[in-house]
Amino acid sequence: MNISPVEKLFTLFNETTLVLQEELNCTYLEALAETGENIFHSSILQEELSELTVKRLKKQYEEIHHERFTNEEIRKAFQLVILKGMKENVQPNHQMTPDTVGMLVAYLVDKFVKLPDSRLLDPAVGTGNLLTTVLNHLHKKVEAIGVDIDDILIKLAYVNANLQEHSIQLFNQDSLEQLFIDPVDTVVADIPVGYYPNDIRAADYQLKAETGHSYSHHLFIEQSVRHTKPGGFLFFIIPNGLFESDQAPKLHEFFKENVIIQGLLQLPMSMFKNKQAAKSILVLQKKGDGVKPPKQALLVDLPSLSKVAEVDKILTKIDKWFQENK
């Protein structure tokens, strides 16, 4: 029976992770980061392992080292083992952008951003799945930056980037604190939804709440706009109810002052457990000299992505919009 490259890699990642998890007495995700480091460096880096375990791991790693895998095969296999680890140790901030959504974001970045080389930021990088999906589908030079507060997720993003040979600057910090990065041309983010607990820090933002905690997703949008060059593009995966909350009027005002809405693509309902969980891709452009709004924003209600003919029709509609507006 033929085993696909993704299955082969998944088996290697999973089996060696389980060995290290037991030997190092750590979580599955921590052990996954360790095995990813071993594979990248072609060496066993954990000195505390028994001789028998080292021999076993070396044999497993050697079986895979002589084979060539594409970045997408590595990313997909690594994503699957991360998802397995997340199921075992569920945390609300441990969520991953689905593949189809990542590819749609990559497609949109490619259509909107016409620079031969650019700087790209993901302020909620997590395990790096969305960022590396975009990088794998862009055929141009990109200097990438990722920020995340979770030390396990940023370690996995680091290993993920190394295995795919992407040069990504990663910062392990609260993305809503001061970021010491130069302005970027593009932002992509599956923005975390919820309340931001640090009211003192939130007070520095225009989109802070008048009373109580501010919405972290609003602050992420403002922080991203701050760090984008005039004329730069921002691609956010947002909850469908973004403009319906009690704090929405402030958001409308912020948008009017700082950005142009280029498009809103509603993701198919079939992707979500319920209506409340549904999301869309919001495309913004930061205002600047010579930046003009489109004749009309690109508004798309995406069909189920398994319906090929319907998806083709939508892609034709998007192409036509670009011809008329860009």
Query: What is the average per-residue pLDDT within 148-162?
Result: 96
Here the tokens at position 120 are: 């790209």
Q: What is the mean pLDDT of residues 273-287?
A: 90
Q: Decide: pTM greater than 0.75.
A: yes
- Specify the pLDDT at position 284: 98
The two three-digit tokens of residue 131, written as one number? 């960022």
Domain 99-325, CATH: 3.40.50.150
Burial class (CB in 10 A: 0-12, 13-18, 19+), 268: middle
Q: Where are the domains of the chain?
A: 5-88, 99-325
State the DSSP code for 295.
S
Q: Are 158 and 166 in contact (CB under 8 A)?
A: no
Tokens coding 199: 């009211």
Q: What pLDDT digit, counting tens, does each position of 62-89 carry? A: 888 878 899 999 999 999 999 999 887 6
**pLDDT for residue 95:** 63
Indicate if 99-325 has the same CATH topology as 5-88: no
Residue 93 predicted with pLDDT over 60: no
| Pick among 3.90.1640.30, 1.10.150.470, 3.40.47.10, 1.10.220.110: CATH of 5-88 | 1.10.150.470
pLDDT at 106 over 70: yes
Residue the block writes with tokens 């590595």: 74
Tell me the CA distances in angstroms from 294 to 10, 149, 285, 289, 300, one per residue in order: 44, 36, 11, 15, 15
The model's pLDDT over 282-302, given as tens digits with 9 standing for 90+, comes to: 999 999 998 999 999 999 998
**For 211-243, how does the pLDDT look when each residue is reduced to its tens digit (9 = 90+)?**
899 999 999 999 999 999 999 999 999 999 898
Continuous H helices in 164-291:
199-202, 216-226, 248-258
